[in-house]
Copies of this chain bind each other. A is one copy, B any other.
Amino acid sequence: MIVVMNHNATKEQVQAVLKRLDKEGFQVHISQGESRTIIGVIGHNTKDLLPKLALEALPGVDRVVPILQPYKLAGREFKPEDSVYRIANLEIGSKTIQIAAGPCAVESREQILEVALAVKEAGATILRGGAYKPRTSPYSFQGLEEKGLKLLAEAKEKTGLAIVTEATDTSNLKIVAEYADIIQIGARNMQNFYLLKEAGKLNKPILLKRGGNATIEEWLLAAEYIMSGGNYQVILCERGIRTFETATRNTLDLSAIPLLKQLSHLPVFADPSHGTGNWKLVPAMSRAAIAAGADGLLVEVHPQPSEALSDGPQSLTPENFKKMMKELKEIAAVLGRKVGNSNG
């Protein structure tokens, strides 16, 4: 941590800062420049204490510049090798890329079974589908809830696909955990710290979507909430950030993928369906995400997108999904990887 004093800070003001740091047990290095005093703060616990100090509020302090990243368990420094999780017969974060596909929301038995069979056949290994839906408007379809979870279980039994589905509140986390192989925490809940803490007590992988206005650092700190509770199986999922551009629903930030691979050991997925909001862009962005190094994808597939109760405009038909999968396998091969059950 570096404390930059104002150019006209007095000696007394500098002394006050030093006293405060000394009180907290920090060692300091003082650099007396021509125009300013700069104080370097050293100590093995700066990361923990930094959030508790408010040095900017002291007179004469211009800025406090943090040097160390504020997360630990999620960082590459803490664990240099890639994390790989095993669920059922799948590996997440290994050379094999997993594709989770399915409808935005579970709507009916027919719908989910039809989609599950279709995406399985095309090479998906995970079925996605929401039973609890967070919706912007109170007047929108809010999900089938437990009935939806049971339908997912039936689809799993019939196809062997693993299940990823969203828990939207601490009140449904447990029941979701009973049915899901991977529990999704959605973008709007990325900083729902109660939900994160409860998820940290489970022993199931958590797919943590990036909040629409979350920085990479805040996202890793949200992962840290889960991990500091004891659940180390976090999968990060880029799903687009909100920017000024309205031609797409969100701006899918694919550069987050290689950047996270540097900063963290956690597997990284991408969701090109929410990331663009437009099914016509999904195949190109799916290819791009794999090329950028994604460990998996979340893709919306619906048998009749125009009849979907939620997010129809961003859903692929099973036919378009199948075409896309073929290309994804070839791109994965360029990177020395394979896609899901592609040689199964």
Q: Which residues of A contact B (CB under 8 A)?
A: 2, 4, 7, 20, 29, 31, 33-36, 38, 40, 42, 44, 47-48, 51-58, 65, 67-68, 70-71, 77, 134-141, 168-171, 188-189, 191-194, 197, 211-213, 215-218, 221, 224-225, 228, 241-248, 251-255, 257-259, 262, 275-276, 278-281, 283-285, 287-293, 305-309, 311-313, 315, 327, 330-331, 334-335
Contacts and interface: CB of A to CB of B under 8 A. Distances in A.
Contact of A55 (B44, B192, B212, B306): B306
Q: How many copies does the complex hold?
A: 4
Contact of A57 (B51, B135, B283, B306): B306
Contacts of A67: 2, 4, 36, 38, 65
A311 B56 CA distance: 10
A215 B54 contact: no
Contacts of A188: 191-192
Given A31-B42, A254-B285, A334-B330, A54 B313 contact: yes
| A interface SS class | mixed
Max chain B Cβ within 10 angstroms of own Cβ: one of A192, A255, A279, A330: A255
Given A57-B279, A331-B331, 10 more contacts: A2-B67, A29-B31, A38-B67, A52-B309, A57-B312, A58-B306, A188-B191, A241-B251, A255-B275, A327-B334
B213 A242 contact: yes
B168 A170 contact: no
Contacts of A315: 54, 57
Given A2-B65, A216-B245, A292-B287, A221 B54 contact: no
B35 A40 contact: no
Contacts of A194: 168-169, 171
Given A247-B216, A327-B334, A51 B135 contact: yes
A271 to B, nearest CB: 12
